[in-house]
Amino acid sequence: MLQAHLDSDTKGTREFIDVLRLTQENSVERIAKILEELDEKNRYSYQDVLSILRYQTQGNKRQLSDEELESLNVSKISTTYLPLVIYNDLLHESGGERG
């Protein structure tokens, strides 16, 4: 599938070897499960596998309970929205526009 997705036997083979190398530090079962998840989404790349693997190994997958969210006062957190047009205006003012 990697070869077909990348439309290149060479690149597909290289990415497949990179995926296989991930089994040196991760179980074959874990990598196989990631590949199955990606196959269901028609996603075929080493970067996709690596991204999910990093999320699983480095990310905190535990959801916070309602009590924890309340203790953090999440409902009182607000953000400001800065329209991108302001950034464009700054570029024009500074002479940073390049064509």
> Has residue 24 got a pLDDT over 80?
yes
Separation between Cα atoms, residue 66 and residue 57, nearest integer Å: 25
User: How many CB atoms within 10 Å of residue 1?
Assistant: 14
**Predicted pLDDT of residue 82:** 74
Separation between Cα atoms, residue 52 and residue 31, nearest integer Å: 10
pLDDT confidence tier of residue 19, bands split at 50, 70 and 90: very high
Per-residue HEC secondary structure of 19-74 comes to HHHHHHCCCHHHHHHHHHHHHHCCCCCHHHHHHHHHHHHHCCCCCCCHHHHHHCCH
pLDDT digit string, tens, across residues 36-85: 999 999 888 899 999 999 888 876 556 777 888 788 887 777 777 778 88
Backbone torsions φ then ψ of 66, nearest 5 degrees: -60, -40
Mean pLDDT, residues 15-44: 92
Contact predicate 34/49, CB 8 Å = yes
Q: Any idea where the domains of the chain sit in the sequence?
A: 2-58
CB crowding 66-75: b at 16 or more within 10 Å, else e: eeeeeeeeee
pLDDT confidence tier of residue 35, bands split at 50, 70 and 90: very high
Instruction: Kindly report whether the global pTM for this prediction surpasses the value 0.75.
Output: no
**Gap between the terminal Cα atoms of the chain:** 41
